[in-house]
Amino acid sequence: MREPQEFIVFLFPSVSYVLKAEKILKEQGIVHKLIPVPRHISSDCGVCLRVAVGQQERVAGVLQGRVDWERTVFL
Amino acid sequence: MQPEAADNRLIYFDNAATSWPKPAEVIEAMTHYSGRIGGSPGRSGHRRSLDAGRILLETREALAELFGIEDSLRIAFTKNATEALNIALLGLLHPGDHVITSSMEHNSVMRPLRFLETQGIQLSVVSCSGDGRLNPEDVRASIRPQTRLLVAAHASNVTGTIHPIAELGQIARDRGILFCLDAAQTAGALPIHIEKMAIDLLAFSGHKSLFGPQGTGGLYIREEVEKRLRPLMMGGTGSRSEFERQPDFMPDKYESGTPNTVGIAGLGAGVRFVLTEGVQAIRSREEMLTEQFLDGLASLKGVVVYGPPDAASRTAVVSFTIAGVSPSEAALEFDERFRILCRPGLHCAPAAHRTIGTFSQGTVRFGFGYFNKDEEISFALEAIRSLVAGD
């Protein structure tokens, strides 16, 4: 059985930004998943970037200065 | 696609309008998108939509690499350089503003500017020399306190004359004026670097030297400039859908409606082809072809060549006239007798033809491309020789 894991999502202005972030995380080998923005977070119809809570600072570090995100929300 | 029979071969010298042929990978990328992806980028979140979005991103990143742009999201896709220039000119200038351009510009710059003139914007058209050269000092002398923008082509689509872009960019930057470069003729054919040339707005077409299909192009907008630049169109962007106001961030602000993803897939492959070959290698090859042609024409009496005498001062575009044969007649002869495809007339640039003294008959324009062969130039020179001789 998988360990229960806590997730955090990074929200971006639009899909172009999410995909740019995705490319950076792929280059860095950071495990991530693109998911539809959960309805309770925003009524926007886009996608967001989900990573493990423990990865939050590392992700922020590699994205900083390369692609802007709007906010992060714990799931 | 069937290869053409040897006796059915064409010589394509209309690359300054649309480049042809395209690298095989351009057509493959478009077929791949159409057959295997097909989704709407930036809309929905399903895998095909995301794959379509990744095509846009990959194309933006390739363009950013080509032009020295740090953040690829500062490039908005448009359907051609004309749309990009219209966004820049109509979106930026307000009544009371002053704008400077050159007398060698294409109508994609001239027509929006002449329209803006009727709306209370002041326009200075700096005269170029008879071979299409722009003196930066004349630009400097035209600057007024109200000057907001300098807009110029990187190279003339009529004579190929290359403007001194780095100098122009520096003059504008020193005086706090925005600099918009029309790179329709040069993106992919000459080195372009937004920092080294101090470019604030870069308009480019995808279907010429970037080897993309028609219906592709884009506009790079320097950071902060988008805050002062109204979009030409507004609508769905797939982002901020809960708001009825247009998003104010790049690139969504200028990308309303479903984009030309199939075309942008082809453009991306075209730009990667340019990056792989290298702009310098492409430039050297095109310069060699142009030099061969100019050298050949020099020995022909009855042919007048326009623009600078040396290939180094121009793109792979040569405008000429043949004594006793109008440009349109000559073009028809080239096509029907010699299967050489070119473009006669005014090339959507009446101001440029007035500058070089060929208004209103125009010229015959040969626009060479990376895929043209030395033998094609030799054959064309022979064809011109027989037209001159009245054969």
Go through the domains of chain A in sequence order and give each one's CATH number: 7-74 (3.30.70)
- Enumerate residues 45 to 64 of chain B having a beta carbon within 8 A of any beta carbon in chain A: 45, 50, 53-54, 56-57, 60-61
Start-end of CATH 3.40.640.10 domains in chain B = 24-277
Is 0.90 exceeded by the ipTM? no
CB-closest option in B53, B240, B249 to A44: B240
Q: Does A16 touch chain B (CB under 8 A)?
A: yes
Contact residues, chain B, for A44 at CB < 8 Å: 239-242
Q: Does A35 touch chain B (CB under 8 A)?
A: yes
Residue (of B193, B172, B170) closest to B183 by Cα position: B193
CA atoms of B195 and B192, how far apart (whole Å): 9
Contact B54 A45 (CB under 8 A): no
- Enumerate residues 327 to 366 of chain B having a beta carbon within 8 A of any beta carbon in chain A: none
Contact residues, chain B, for A35 at CB < 8 Å: 45
Q: Which residue of B has its CA nearest to A47?
A: B45
CA atoms of B252 and A16, how far apart (whole Å): 9
Q: Does A44 touch chain B (CB under 8 A)?
A: yes
Q: Testing the interface with B: which of A17, A19, A39 to mutate, by most B Cβ within 10 A?
A: A19
Contact residues, chain B, for A66 at CB < 8 Å: 71
Start-end of CATH 3.90.1150.10 domains in chain B = 10-22+278-388
H-helix or E-strand spanning residue B61: helix B47-67
Residue B35 DSSP symbol:
I
CB-closest option in A13, A19, A66 to B239: A13
Six-digit token string for B204: 């480019």
Q: Testing the interface with A: which of B240, B245, B246, B261 to mutate, by most A Cβ within 10 A?
A: B240
Percent helix / strand / coil, chain B, rounded to 5: 40, 15, 40
CA atoms of B45 and A15, how far apart (whole Å): 9
B318, B290 contact by CB (below 8 A): yes
- The CATH number of domain B10-22+278-388 is 3.30.1050.10: no
Residue (of B38, B81, B66) closest to B214 by Cα position: B81
Query: B101 to each of B151, B155, B217, B329, how far by Cα in Å?
Result: 5, 13, 22, 33
Q: Testing the interface with A: which of B239, B240, B246, B249 to mutate, by most A Cβ within 10 A?
A: B239
Q: What is the pLDDT of residue B240?
A: 84
Neighbours of B105 (CB within 10 A): 25
pLDDT in tens, chain B (391 residues): 444 445 578 999 999 999 999 999 999 999 999 999 999 998 878 999 999 999 999 999 999 999 999 999 999 999 999 999 999 999 999 999 999 999 999 999 999 999 999 999 999 999 999 999 999 999 999 999 999 999 999 999 999 999 999 999 999 999 999 999 999 999 999 999 999 999 999 999 999 999 999 999 999 999 999 999 999 999 999 888 888 999 999 999 999 999 999 999 999 999 999 999 999 999 999 999 999 999 999 999 999 999 999 999 999 999 999 999 999 999 999 999 999 999 999 999 999 999 999 998 999 999 999 999 999 999 999 999 999 988 7
CA atoms of A28 and B217, how far apart (whole Å): 31
Query: Closest Cα of chain B to A17: distance in Å?
Result: 8
Contact A16 B240 (CB under 8 A): no
CA atoms of B124 and B352, how far apart (whole Å): 15
Q: What is the pLDDT of residue A45?
A: 67
Query: For residue B356, which amino acid is it?
Result: I
Contact residues, chain B, for A45 at CB < 8 Å: 43-45, 238, 241
Q: Give the max Cα distance, chain B.
A: 70
Domain made up of B24-277: CATH architecture:
3-Layer(aba) Sandwich (3.40)
Contact residues, chain A, for B237 at CB < 8 Å: 14
Q: What is the pLDDT of residue A43?
A: 67
- Enumerate residues 135 to 154 of chain B having a beta carbon within 8 A of any beta carbon in chain A: none
Contact B238 A67 (CB under 8 A): no
Residues in a beta bridge with A11: A71
Query: Closest Cα of chain A to B114: distance in Å?
Result: 35
Residue spans of beta strands (DSSP E) within chain B: 11-12, 75-78, 98-102, 122-126, 147-153, 178-182, 201-205, 217-221, 303-305, 317-322, 340-341, 343-345, 363-367
Query: Closest Cα of chain B to A43: distance in Å?
Result: 7
Dihedral through CA B328, CA B5, CA B212, CA B112, nearest 10? 10
